[in-house]
Amino acid sequence: MIIEERYSKILEIVKEKTRASYDFLAKTLFVSESTIRRDIEAMSEKGMISKIHGGASIIEPTTQDSSVYIRENKCAISTEVCPYVYYCDKIQAFK
């Protein structure tokens, strides 16, 4: 298995489980724990995953990242709704 394939599989597993141990990844991908450690180190440096004691986890979005995400969603919603809203119309959000 080439490096890019391993990275893809590791990322897929970590996203699915939110965290994975070196041992689990090594057994799942049929490679040594040393290989997994090197892969996780490289992926961590690239910002793909977060390296934790004994394995890897997904990178949690920071408050700044989530606020950008929320702003982008609001802009997308307003663009879609704009043709249906007229001057002086009131919009109320329901929970």
Q: Is the pTM of this model over 0.75?
A: no
Q: Which strands, in side-by-side order, build the sheet including 19-21?
A: 19-21, 55-57, 50-52
Q: How far apart are CA 80 and CA 64, in angstroms?
A: 25
pLDDT in tens, 8-34: 999 999 999 999 999 999 999 999 999
**Higher pLDDT among residues 92 and 2, named by residue:** 2
pLDDT of the residue at 87:
82
pLDDT for 73-93, tens place per residue?
A: 888 888 888 888 888 887 777
CB 54 within 8 A of CB 21: yes
